[in-house]
Structure 1
Amino acid sequence: MIPLLVCDDSAMARKQLIRALPPEWPVRISQATQGEEALAAIRQGLGQVVLLDLTMPVLDGYQVLARLRAEGLHSRVVVVSGDVQAEALRRVQELGALGFIRKPVATEELRATLIRLGLFHPPALPETAPPRAEPALRVNFRDALREVSNVAMGRAAALLARVLKVFVRLPIPNVNIFEVSELHMALLDAQRGERLSAVCQGFIGDAIAGEALLLFHDSETADIARLLDWQPQGERDTSEMLLDLASILIGACLSGIAEQIDVRFSQGHPQLLGQHASIEQLISLNQRRWKQTLAVEISYGLEGHAVHFDLLLLFTEDSLPRLTQKIHYLME
């Protein structure tokens, strides 16, 4: 039996990946939820082959690959990630990963990759493999939506990276159900004293509706313009630049979510809520429109630049039953 380690901070991602493994592959599966756990398992001989996520707490996948090389540990690593930037692929290859598979994992792609890399050798004659004992993994709604958002976030980042010609640092998305007043208090605390510009874009589809809110920090706008080789001649040009960027990020992220949960979102036109405003001014509208929201928070950062974008996907409380149903279907 081949010791196989599946390392991902998302229980849903681990469950999907384990289910996608070739049933006749003779492996003994261990799991890790972050990089330090993965390294400890590998040192114990539990990771001859490793399926490794990149965006994780404590130690991310890049750091795990670097530590494997530094410690002379000879695991054979295939990266399985939602970060599909071309630079991410180049970096993991440089650090010694044998292959790269994008999330969500397609069974046939995983099988073909394992065969191509010489990690799995199908039997010459078809045979009925004994059922593999599937680890008992409890996946809750929040974990599942975070993983769906993680995949969508990665696709949006890849598009942003091509437009700005930079490497985009990806966070672990935050998913919380807030009373809208609580969300506003959290935003006030995080953005206190900063002047912001914000773009809002509504979306609706299959009984799921909400708004995407993208916050730009005014102190970073000039750097964004330089990256775009844009020379705004006034507020109108700056507004156009922010609206264009918002269309890229919001559109790609919503498209990634919609594809995974099998819905089609109709999106409104992005609107500039305000420029050079306080967070209190920017968020007062939503407080009057609904009382509770499911909030997905994603903060993109640009490597080598003091620039980041805060994206909030705010689902109305009326959307929760249908969204929960869609997410639970993925979890089965």
Structure 2
Amino acid sequence: MPFPVLICDDSALARKQMARTLPKEWDVELTYAANGAEGIDAIREGKGEIVFLDLNMPVMDGYEVLEAIQREDLPALVIVVSGDIQIKAHERVKVLGALDFIQKPVSVDAISHILQEYGILELAIGTGQTENPMVEVDLRDACQEVANVAMGRAADLLSKLLDVFVLLPIPNVNVLEVSELTMTLKATEENGTVSALCQGFIGAGIAGEALLLFHDSSFQDMAKLMKLENPEDETTELEVMMDTGNVLIGAFLNGISEQLHMKFSQSHPVVLGRHCTANELIHENSDKWQRTLAMEINYQIEDHDIQCDLLLLFTEDSLPTLNYKLGYLLD
């Protein structure tokens, strides 16, 4: 009998990568779940005695899945596989009963090592893998997963610098016109004012701009976390914005470059606007962007009134190279 293994992740690319890393000698029946609610249903049906679980998912996230497994005493050995590599994320999933944590993107060696360490490898040894369903991946999904991993790298760096836990969303990735750009910004929904900086980046065949939209209500709390003097001072606001931008933009671009195996050069950051609405900000700079691939991440810090939106806007000319690079992840 094939051994029931569940891969629970909202990204089709991540599900495909995870399935590829499983030992070839394993005789398993794979089940896929695209969110935590589907995952819990599969576990209840006996389809997930071993579970590879993502954390950031819609409907029900990985933390909620672990809580449900504990609460219902479900028979599942859970290994968390996530782009959120913050130390506090590791600690929280262990407390909730996860066996261990593997960071994305996964590798054959990492999976093999952890399965051997916990004696799981022997559970499904057979004559080879059972024929399992194929996973279809589109380019938007691939971009979203690349953004997810990069987002986790940036959050990890910020969490270490400030000794906080960064709450991570599901990245929003779309190819859109500039007129649609404001619709993607959470800042506009709240009618708050923002300040923003912009930093250009360029690589072989790929170029764009990173925008950091810092909610004005976040400045004082962030200045205190950074232990800056005079948190209400205008100069301090600029320092907060520049320091946060250096961390989040730099780490995010590094996370993308690692996955796409290319290097980016970055221009000096420039203040794009102060104390305005996101709608005004985009309107005043609309001539700089045309049709664009936009990656949006809304970072929030737990127990603090701090949030900022990071947007990566790739030029339309970058799309062929992005498609080519992402093709390697899809094959």
| Bucket of the pairwise TM-score, normalised by the shorter protein | over 0.9
Identity %: 50
- TM-score under structure 2 length normalisation: 0.94
The Cα offsets for residues 200-243 of structure 1, whole Å up to 9 and x where unpaired, read as: 11000011000000111111110111111112373223212210
What amino acid is the match of 2:220?
A
Contact (CA 8 Å) 2:30, 2:132: kept in 1 or not? Answer: no
The Cα offsets for residues 140-191 of structure 1, whole Å up to 9 and x where unpaired, read as: 0000100010000001001111112111111000111111122135549825
What amino acid is the match of 1:310?
D
Aligned pairs, how many? Answer: 329
Structure 2 regions of 5+ residues with no counterpart?
Answer: none
Q: Map 1:24-63; keep pairs closer than 5 Å.
A: 24-63=25-64
What is the alpha-carbon root mean square deviation over aligned residues?
A: 1.9
- Counterpart of 2:91 in structure 1 is 90
- Counterpart of 1:231 in structure 2 is 229
Report how far residue 290 of structure 1 moved.
3.3
SS at 1:283's partner residue? helix
1-structure distance, mates of 2:184, 2:57: 23
Contact (CA 8 Å) 2:300, 2:306: kept in 1 or not? Answer: yes
- TM-score under structure 1 length normalisation: 0.94
Report how far residue 192 of structure 1 moved.
6.0
What amino acid is the match of 2:314?
F
What amino acid is the match of 1:223?
D
Aligned counterpart in structure 2 of residue 139 of structure 1, from 129, 137, 140: 137
Q: Map 1:5-154; keep pairs closer than 5 Å.
A: 5-121=6-122, 130=128, 132-154=130-152
Contact (CA 8 Å) 1:191, 1:279: kept in 2 or not? Answer: no
2-structure distance, mates of 1:150, 1:189: 20
- Counterpart of 2:296 in structure 1 is 297
Report how far residue 313 of structure 1 moved.
0.5
Q: 1:131 to 1:185 in 2, by over 3 A?
A: closer
Verify: 1:165 aligned to 2:199, yes or no: no
What amino acid is the match of 1:133?
E
Q: 1:94 to 1:258 in 2, by over 3 A?
A: same
2-structure distance, mates of 1:247, 1:10: 28
Deviates further, 270-279 or 5-14:
270-279
Contact (CA 8 Å) 1:9, 1:57: kept in 2 or not? Answer: yes
Q: 1:326 to 1:285 in 2, by over 3 A?
A: farther
SS at 1:121's partner residue? helix
Verify: 1:288 aligned to 2:250, yes or no: no
Report how far residue 286 of structure 1 moved.
3.8
SS at 2:122's partner residue? coil
Report how far residue 26 of structure 1 moved.
2.1
1-structure distance, mates of 2:49, 2:191: 51
- Counterpart of 1:4 in structure 2 is 5
Report how far residue 277 of structure 1 moved.
2.4
Structure 1 regions of 5+ residues with no counterpart?
Answer: none
Contact (CA 8 Å) 2:181, 2:282: kept in 1 or not? Answer: no
